[in-house]
């Protein structure tokens, strides 16, 4: 399969997983490795370039929804600051030491446990009705009042998601549920605080990498944009149902990664 087709396939995967608490980065990083695709052997800088293109395409598709669903300014600042500081301080160290299959599988498993455990700690339904949407896939607004403590906790969750496999969406959903928010409110908060972190991470990575493979990057970005747009319309951004199926999928992927890693090391 050509590099362009592999990039297009990863764009579809990015779009399908970007809105779910399953770690899109783990899927994008590990599926080429599991399936033996050509890009699994690419040097780190070229793989990172492809990752930037995928995140850029997805972020552009989500931008109108992120803008509409954003909470108040203080919540945005407090929920973004820990991730921004952690990214500047530790991003490259994390990439060097936690980018391998075993570390990613560990992140997937840790996130799965946190997601399943937190989902049992709070009421599943909100006392307020889910907000009406302007379009069929528009998110509900976040709760009108979010304490500084809760916003900072969401920020720490986003910082923890710097580790591959943890998942920003999964970490913030689990944190919001553990803090007592209903599934609807936790979902709205998780999506609402995502904008600055997703945008900042994409810009930072793009500034560090020269676009040396424009054609493949353009295909990846276009595919991710199209797939994310479709996912917004079909999956939506609200998570009303139990979260354990996502935890199960994460655990299954982690198990597959560890099994293949063991087999290849023999």
Over the range 102-139, which residues count as b (16 or more CB within 10 Å of their CB) and which as e?
eebbbbbbbbbebbbebbeebeeebeeebbeeeeebbb
Domain boundaries, the chain: 3-265
Helix, strand, coil shares, percent, the chain, to 5: 75, 0, 25
Amino acid 26: pLDDT: 92
CA 257 to each of CA 75, 106, 108, 208, 252: distance values in angstroms, whole numbers, following the listed order: 36, 10, 10, 29, 9
Query: With 50 as the cut, is the pLDDT of residue 219 above it?
Result: yes
List, as one string, the DSSP characters of 118-148.
Answer: HTTSS-SS-SSPPPPPSSTTPPPPPPS---H
Cα–Cα distance, 117 to 225 (Å, whole number): 33
Which is nearest to 28 in space by CA: 59, 55, 57? Answer: 55
Q: What is the pLDDT of residue 211?
A: 61
Higher pLDDT residue, 261 or 204?
Answer: 261
Q: How many CB atoms are closer than 10 A to CB 245?
A: 12
What's the CA gap between 235 and 20, in Å, rounded?
9
Q: What pLDDT sits at residue 130?
A: 47
CB 147 within 8 A of CB 223: no
Phi-psi region of 20 (alpha: psi -120 to 50; beta: other; left: phi over 0): beta
Indicate if the alpha-carbon torsion angle 114, 120, 122, 125 is positive or negative.
positive
pTM: 0.86
CA distance 261 to 102: 8
pLDDT value for 129: 43
Q: What is the pLDDT of residue 134?
A: 45
98-151 confidence digits (pLDDT tens): 778 999 999 999 999 999 999 886 665 555 444 444 444 566 677 778 999 999
Q: Could you give the CA distance from residue 126 to residue 187 in angstroms, rounded to a whole number?
A: 11
């Amino acid at each position: 399969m050509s590099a362009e087709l592999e990039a297009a396939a990863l764009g579809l995967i990015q779009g399908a997983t970007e809105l779910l608490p399953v770690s899109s980065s783990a899927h994008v990083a590990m599926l080429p490795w599991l399936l033996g695709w050509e890009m699994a052997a690419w040097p780190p800088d070229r793989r990172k370039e492809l990752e930037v293109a995928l995140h850029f395409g997805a972020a552009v598709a989500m931008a109108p929804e992120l803008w509409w669903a954003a909470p108040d300014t203080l919540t945005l600042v407090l929920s973004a600051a820990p991730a921004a500081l952690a990214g500047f301080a530790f991003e490259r160290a994390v990439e060097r030491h936690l980018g391998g299959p075993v570390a990613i599988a560990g992140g997937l498993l840790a996130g799965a446990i946190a997601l399943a455990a937190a989902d049992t700690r709070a009421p599943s339904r909100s006392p307020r009705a889910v907000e009406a949407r302007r379009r069929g896939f528009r998110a509900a607004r976040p709760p009108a009042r979010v304490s500084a403590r809760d916003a900072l906790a969401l920020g720490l969750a986003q910082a923890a998601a710097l580790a591959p496999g943890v998942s920003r969406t999964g970490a913030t959903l689990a944190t919001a549920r553990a803090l007592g928010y209903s599934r609807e409110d936790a979902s709205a908060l998780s999506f609402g605080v995502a904008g600055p972190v997703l945008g900042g991470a994409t810009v930072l990575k793009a500034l560090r990498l020269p676009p040396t493979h424009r054609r493949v990057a353009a295909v990846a970005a276009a595919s991710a944009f199209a797939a994310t747009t479709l996912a917004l319309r079909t999956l939506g951004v609200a998570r009303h149902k139990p979260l354990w199926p996502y935890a199960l999928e994460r655990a299954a992927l982690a198990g597959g990664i560890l099994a293949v890693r063991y087999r290849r090391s023999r």
